[in-house]
Structure 1
Amino acid sequence: MDFDPAPIAGKLTRRGNRTINTQTLRARATELASVRVAAIVIPVFLLAPAIWNGYPLLQWDTGGYLARWYEGYLVPSRSTVFGLYLHVGEGSGFWFNLVLQALATLWIITLTLRVLGLAQPFRVAAISLLLILTTALPWLASMLLTDIFAGLAVLALFLLVLHGDKLARTEKASLFVFTAFASASHSATLGVLTGLCALALLAWPWLKARIALPALALGGAALLTGAAMLLAANAALSGQFAWTPGGYGVAFGRMMQDGIVARYLADHCAQEQLKLCPYRDQLPATADEFLWGHSMFNTLGRFEGLEGEMGFIVTHSLAAYPLMQAEAALEATGQQLIDVATGEGTNGWIPHTYGIIERYIPSELEAMRAAHQQHWDIDFPTINRLHVPVALASMLAMLALLAHALSRRRLDDLTLLAATVTFALLGNAVICGVISGPHDRYGARMVWIATFTALIAAARYFDDEADEEELRPS
């Protein structure tokens, strides 16, 4: 009798398939569990500074944003859109805002890793935890300030413009809204994003295969929506359909700090009747002392009393001393690039913010006063022994990545990300350094995306090494 192996083979095949299916299901279940754990654990770690503090971290500028809902008028450099965002979270002691910030951070980091082919749960968790340990990211996410949205907005625009084809419609719509909100939250963020779009448009003739005009138009539309959002919020709260004021005042402060204002007053007070002429020998040494300290700025009516004169001096000094202005701008840009320390303005001495909370949100006083920050318990000098070297090394890594790509004439996704981050850091240094003057806060809020890109490059390198090892003959 002939032996027919088919029935036995069929049984073995079915058993084998069941085994494979079971293993696949277990692997998928494990991966799903890992994703769920990461979705809880990473936001908690991102908010670790605030949780330890016992209250959201505050900064000198926080009070100006909090007051927008209550005071109903426009204040220089204080976005009403961000003020409304903070007002929404008041009932939760602002923890609602922090949770949103942490979830947005995890979402955009994960989305960036996904389009670059690195979205495995372990990778997402490892890179996120390294960012939390070595950069300002958790301090930004734990703070009631616009700064967390600066770096995230750069990544969001990168995804919209260069990887829109890899995103679902809901993801693109969400990134559009996020980018619009982030650009409306701070003029410097809007300036950086506008500069990136302008560079992409200039590069389009050479990068048609990588930059789709409809995607670039979508990114530009998000910025226009953000501008419209800010104008609408200003009109709703103040009755003025106007941009947030203060540009001339901030630029004036930087020029005063660089000695340009004193030079202009010395050269022109004999011919021009300016309010500052009697005080030309008493100007403070820094812009912060002039604008926010006890100076003649208060005596002469602050922004309302001096806005016109400050604008006059700013514009006329640009024409009168072009070489001096160029040298000062170049120096300010260079200084801003290396001013990257975490925690500037986040200490126990922020009387304006305390006063705003006491006046308008007294229910928060007890919790705020009990926080570690208000007892000067945060040791940023020690933290920055790690953060500053990591930040500076990360910026050098961006240059190394671009140099390596140029030497090999390679334009892959990682190179485009490194280029985006490099131009964002440079644009941020120009806008913040030249207009406001160099501050660590402006650098720290943006430089973490360089560390993020460097970690992506490291992950890619180890992947390539592993692939080469597999291909080598044993």
Structure 2
Amino acid sequence: MRRPPENTSISTPVLHTRDAEIPWGWIAAVVIPVLLLAPAIWNGYPLLQYDTGGYLARWYEGHLEISRSNAYGIYLHLGQGSYFWINLVCQALLTLWILHLTLRVLNMAQPLRLLAIALILITATALPWLASMLLTDIFAGLAVLALYILVVHNGKLSIVEKISLFLFTSFAAASHTATFGVLLGLCCAGWIVKPLLGPRLQITGLVQGSLTILAGAAMLLAANVFLTGRLAWTPGGASVSFGRMMQDGIVARYLNDHCDKIKLKLCPYRNQLPATADDFLWGNDTIFDKLGRFEGMNGEMEFIATHALVAYPLWQAEAAAEATAEQLVEVSTGEGNTGWIPHTYGIIERYLPEQVKAMRAAQQQHWNIKFTAINWIHVPVALASMLLLAAIALTALWRRRIDDVELLAATVCVALLGNAFICGVISGPHDRYGARMVWIATFVVLIAAARFLASRYGWLHGRRDRNLSTPSL
């Protein structure tokens, strides 16, 4: 009996002769992007969301808008002539690339394995809905994976790959303040654990990863200067935090405690504040509207948010912990992808009238997109993935030895916690903020499962002839 070669490993999977003749690499390269864009293809137009209009308007309005990145606005404008299909194709190809690159640096790059994992992600997570939507959300999870690859596996990358990952991660950081915060937190965590992990985290990778944050900040500032003539950060942090504090009852308490000493515009309305931040900031004919919206209230909201943080530190800490915990489990797919998004419709009608007909003909605008049945699958998968992810990371801590997949699991755990804290505390918990990140937990769990099956049962490995191999993607 012929002995198999000694160097046969998981990183060089093989198939039977008949399977090896099938061009799985090409099949994966075509099928995965098409399926990622299946929701948009079915819709007949890119998926829109409440916030899409604010980003589309950035190119035309020439001023800074609360929580709307001008960098992402420029990105959308570049694809405008294609009715934004170029943007969606770019998002799908970036997703394919980063999924494959993650598997490759973990020595698990095999087309059939990539295809299997991608099909599960497309079926069981929000990933295709994120890739099919005109919103920054698809970049949030991809940026976490890109940063992990750039920092931890820097030595396995070509110069072109390093530059590409650097530019993508920087742009993702510039596209949304929450993504910027998560990536900054991951870089800080990397420097903190560097003494514990030693050579596992090379200084070169940490430096390059940290520089993506600086480059992202530079991109955002440059975009703001280019479109508005102002060297300023995208506004909104304090104002959005005010909304969360109002929702928690902190604003009403502050007004009741201080309106007899300080004259504030909100004092006459302190007993009429709505129950939620969304009702206050985005409702119709609200107190916020009467007082001049952001232009009239920015200063006062920032004042109240800052002083309430000092006045009630214990309450703020309790509210932050509750918001973080709530955000971790709010992971339903589809928040904001309804037929009622009047602001986005208005922006398209005002600035892109040639696209109104196509937009109005889409399935979304006929209220044909329903997420109830989808979330019967997505929510349990997301919650189970987070539990399994935590188990993978904790197992490594218990053994006091961590391999590459476990390090990826720990990275994603930190990213999910950071995302939940930033979004939950600043904006208040929303399903959208959880769904845009939690799919990477499912991805890591699938990687761990694939590695276990490959080592234990030869999953996706032919055993008849170990000398045959399939090309990587």
For residue 295 of structure 2, what is the aligned residue in structure 1? 304
**CA-to-partner distance for each residue in 1:99-148, whole Å, 9 max, x for gaps?**
00000000000000011111111001000111000000000000000000
Q: Which structure ranks higher in relative contact order (CA pairs < 8 Å, sequence separation ≥ 6)?
A: 2
Q: Tell me the distance in 2 between the aligned counterparts of 1:55 and 1:198.
A: 40
Task: Tell me: CA distance 1:467–1:40, structure 2 relative to 1, closer, same or farther (3 Å).
Answer: closer
Aligned-partner Cα distance in 2 for 1:402–1:161:
18
Q: Partners in 1 of 2:42 and 2:228 — Cα distance?
A: 37
What's the counterpart of residue 151 of structure 1? 141
Give the residue type in structure 2 aligned to 1:370: A
Matched, 1:81 2:61: no
* 1:53 matches 2:43: yes
1:352 is matched with which residue? 343
Q: Secondary structure at the match of 1:206?
A: helix
CA displacement at 1:296 relative to structure 2: 1.2
Q: Greater shift after overlay, 406-415 or 283-292?
A: 406-415
Match of 2:27 in 1: 37
Distance 2:230 2:399 in 1: 54
User: Which residue among 214, 230, 251 is the counterpart of 1:224?
Assistant: 214
SS at match of 1:369: helix
The alpha carbon displacement at 1:196 in A equals 0.3
Equivalent position of 1:246 in the other structure: 236
Q: 1:314/1:171 Cα in 2 relative to 1: closer, same or farther (>3 Å)? A: same
Three-state SS of the structure 2 residue aligned to 1:303 is helix
Cα distance, 1:164 vs structure 2 = 0.7
User: Counterpart of 1:282?
Assistant: 272
1:97-246 matches, cutoff 5 A: 97-246=87-236
- The one-character-per-residue Cα deviations of 1:40-69 (angstroms, maximum 9, x if unpaired) are 111000000000111100000000000000
Secondary structure of 1:463's counterpart equals helix
Q: What is the match of residue 261 of structure 2?
A: 271
Q: State the Cα distance separating 1:319 from its structure 2 match.
A: 1.1
**Partner amino acid, structure 1, of 2:286:** S
- Determine whether 1:93 maps to 2:83: yes
Q: Secondary structure at the match of 2:197?
A: coil
Between the aligned residues of both structures, percent identity stands at: 66
Q: Distance in 2 between matches of 1:198 and 1:292?
A: 34
**Structure-1-length-normalised TM-score:** 0.92
Q: List, as ranges, runs of 4+ consecutive aligned residues in structure 1 with deviation greater than 3 Å.
A: 26-31, 467-471
The letter for the 2-side match of 1:97 is N
Larger-gyration structure (1/2): 1
In structure 2, what is the Cα distance between the partners aligned to 1:136 and 1:276? 39
Q: Which amino acid aligns with 1:84?
A: I
RMSD between superposed Cα atoms in Å: 1.8
Deviations for 1:339-362, whole angstroms, at most 9, x for unmatched residues? Answer: 000000001000000000000000
Superposed displacement of residue 27, structure 1: 8.6
Please report how far the alpha carbon of residue 406 of structure 1 lies from its aligned counterpart in structure 2 after TM superposition.
2.4
CA deviation after TM superposition for structure 1 residue 467, in Å: 6.2
Deviates more, 1:285-294 or 1:95-104: 285-294
SS of equivalent to 2:332: coil
Q: Which residue of 2 aligns with 1:62?
A: 52
Contact 1:340 1:441 in 2 (8 A): yes
1:27 and 1:235 mapped to 2: Cα distance? 58
Paired letter, 1:105 = T
Contact 1:348–1:376 (CA under 8 A) maintained in structure 2: yes
Amino acid at match of 1:453: V
Q: Which residue of 2 aligns with 1:401?
A: 392
1:382 to 344, 358, 373: 373
Aligned-residue offset at 1:29: 7.8
1:9 corresponding residue in structure 2: none
1:362 aligns to 2:356 (yes or no):
no
Deviation, 1:299, is: 1.2
Q: Distance in 2 between matches of 1:467 and 1:381?
A: 37
- Which residue does 2:245 correspond to in 1? 255
**CA–CA separation in structure 2 for the residues paired with 1:365 and 1:312:** 41
Query: Match of 1:14?
Result: none
| Alpha-carbon offset, residue 403 of structure 1 | 2.3
Paired with 2:435 and 2:257, the residues of 1 have a C-alpha distance of 38
Deviation at 1:466, TM superposition (A): 2.5
- Pick closer, same or farther for the CA change 1:467–1:37 going to 2, 3 Å: closer
Whose helix fraction is larger, Structure 1's or Structure 2's?
1
2:411 alignment counterpart: 420
User: TM-score with structure 2 length normalisation?
Assistant: 0.92
What residue is the counterpart of 2:8 in the other structure? none
Could you tell me whether the CA contact under 8 Å between 1:246 and 1:303 is conserved in 2?
no
Deviation for aligned residue 1:315: 1.0
Aligned partners of 2:47 and 2:341: how far apart in 1?
Answer: 11
> Among residues 416, 430, 433, which one is paired with 1:439 in the alignment?
430
Unaligned runs of 5+ in 1: 1-22
Q: CA offset at residue 237 of structure 1?
A: 0.5
2:317 aligned partner, one-letter code: A
2:435 maps to a residue whose letter is A
For residues 65 and 290 of structure 2, the distance between their equivalents in structure 1, rounded to whole angstroms, comes to 18
CA distance in 1, matches of 2:415, 2:98: 17
- What is the match of residue 15 of structure 1? none
